Each structure stands twice: as structure tokens, then as C-alpha cells.
């Protein structure tokens, strides 16, 4: 996975990447999840390794194999991902939050299987907000560290998509935000992606559409 050629501009850099989607348990056999496959995060890990970086991959329920050369940390829930990425970020030159983190988790995790007979014809789940991990990383970021977030949006109108991206950047305070349209047929399982990258001020840095590997390359250019 590693090269030392002329493209090895990330030699000596430590890059932390979160990938996949968190799952929030309801009971021992069920969870609330999302459709993130982890492909874009894994492509970022592969591309960073190929450019000579040392990579910590914080993996939440990946549907694809992780590269063998990464330091792999497996997590399940948003709180587990928060603990792992906060720990890894302390020594990182760059942190890329490609994971789809559950915004809410069940208030109570049932010790035994939730039974239909005990719940009836409707079931109300009470959920509580997970911490905003990216915003937390932005608050505690050390100087020189590059922090990159993703924004998953279903908004079809390109102008309104940008407005949403800029609002999200203002809430997160990271260095770059990769705005990514997702939907029933777009984004997740695909090998291709289309992104618009905003800088801290909300200005467009680049627009790329192509394979998740070529998109990964452009995202890593932001670190160099």
C-alpha cells in the first residue's frame, strides 16, 4: 500500500480517518443505522497510504475491506467513535471525518430482546442526541492540524445545497467541508462520488466528480 516515489508528499504525516456508519443498539439483536458503506473513507485511507502517510482508520461497520497497512480501530456506536477519534486526533496532522455518525441514540438499551407482546401495535422509541464529534474536534484542534468534515445532503438544488453546506460549516468550524449529495440512488454503495469542497469561510475550493479514489486524491491535496 505504501510508496516512496515523487507522489509521496504525505511522508511523515499522520492522518486519522473515520469511515462507515455508526450503529446505535436498541437491544441485543437490533440497532438504528444508516446506509454508509465506508467506501469513501477507505478510498481516503488507501490514497493517504499511497502518498506515504501513516494512517489510523477508525472503522464503523464497514461494508468493504480496510487496507492492511492502516492502524485499524473498530468502533460500533457514535460514543465509541468519539472516544477513538478524540484519542487518535491528539497526535494527528490531519483528521478526516468521513464517517456517517448517528445523530441520535436510544435513551434506553433493552437488556433483553424487545418483545411485540409487551409493546403492542405501535412502538415509540425515545432517542437522545449524540455529541457533535466534528464540532468538538474543531474546538480542541491544535495549531497546524487540518480538520476535514463531510456534509451529507439530499437537497437537489445546487444553490440551496451550497447554502446548506455554508450553514453547516458555520456550525462545525472545521478547516474544510466536503459537501456530498446523498439520496436513494446516490452516494453510499456507489464507487463514484461528486463533491464540492468549502473552506472555513464557506468559499468553494474545488468541485470534483469521479471515482471515490480520484475524489480521495483531491481531498488529500487539501492537507499537503
DSSP labels for 64-76?
SPPPTTSEEEEE-
Residues 157-176, one symbol each (x = binds ligand CTP by CB under 6 A, - = not), give: -----------x--------
Distance of closest approach, residue 182 Cβ to Ca ion, in angstroms: 11
Residue 133 engages ligand CTP in binding (rule: CB under 6 A):
yes
Whose cell is 480542541? That residue is: 140
Contact 84, 16 (CB under 8 A): no
Its sign, for the CA torsion 160, 162, 168, 171, is negative
Residue 93 engages Ca ion in binding (rule: CB under 5 A):
no
Residues with a known catalytic role: 34
Distance of closest approach, residue 201 Cβ to ligand CTP, in angstroms: 18
201 by DSSP, 3-state: which?
Answer: coil
Residue 155 engages ligand CTP in binding (rule: CB under 6 A):
no
Q: What are 83's three cell numbers?
A: 472516544
Number of Cβ within 10 Å of residue 25's Cβ equals 16
Among 42, 75, 95, 97, binds ligand CTP (CB under 6 A): 97
Residue 63 engages Ca ion in binding (rule: CB under 5 A):
no
Q: What are 198's three cell numbers?
A: 468549502
Q: Residues 202-219, buried b or exposed e (16+ Cβ, 10 A)?
A: eeeeeebeeebbebbbbb
132 binds, among ligand CTP, Ca ion, none (CB under 5 to 8 A by kind): ligand CTP
Only segment of 44-52, 58-66, 118-126, 146-154 that touches ligand CTP (CB under 6 A): 146-154
The answer to whether 191 is annotated as binding is: no
Only segment of 55-63, 78-86, 102-110, 190-198 that touches Ca ion (CB under 5 A): 102-110
Q: What are 95's three cell numbers?
A: 483528521
Among 150, 165, 169, 197, binds ligand CTP (CB under 6 A): 150
Q: Which residues bind Ca ion (CB under 5 A)?
A: 103
Amino acid at each position: 500500500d505504501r510508496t516512496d516515489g515523487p507522489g509521496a508528499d504525505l511522508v511523515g504525516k499522520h492522518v486519522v480517518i473515520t469511515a462507515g456508519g455508526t450503529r446505535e443498539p436498541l437491544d441485543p439483536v437490533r440497532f438504528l443505522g444508516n446506509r454508509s458503506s465506508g467506501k469513501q473513507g477507505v478510498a481516503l485511507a488507501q490514497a493517504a497510504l499511497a502518498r506515504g502517510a501513516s494512517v489510523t482508520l477508525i472503522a464503523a461497520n464497514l461494508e468493504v475491506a480496510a487496507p492492511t497497512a492502516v492502524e485499524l480501530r473498530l468502533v460500533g456506536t457514535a460514543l465509541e467513535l468519539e472516544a477513538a477519534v478524540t484519542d487518535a486526533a491528539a497526535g494527528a496532522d490531519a483528521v478526516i471525518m468521513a464517517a456517517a455518525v448517528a445523530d441520535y441514540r436510544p435513551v434506553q438499551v433493552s437488556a433483553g430482546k424487545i418483545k411485540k407482546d409487551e409493546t403492542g401495535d405501535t412502538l415509540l422509541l425515545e432517542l437522545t442526541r449524540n455529541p457533535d464529534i466534528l464540532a468538538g474536534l474543531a474546538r480542541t484542534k491544535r495549531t497546524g492540524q487540518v480538520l476535514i468534515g463531510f456534509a451529507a445532503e439530499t437537497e437537489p438544488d445546487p444553490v440551496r445545497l451550497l447554502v446548506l453546506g455554508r450553514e453547516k460549516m458555520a456550525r462545525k468550524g472545521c478547516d474544510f467541508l466536503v459537501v456530498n449529495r446523498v439520496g436513494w440512488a446516490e452516494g453510499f454503495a456507489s464507487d463514484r462520488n461528486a463533491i464540492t469542497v468549502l473552506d472555513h469561510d464557506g468559499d468553494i475550493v474545488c468541485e470534483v466528480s469521479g471515482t471515490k479514489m480520484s475524489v480521495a486524491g483531491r481531498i488529500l491535496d487539501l492537507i499537503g
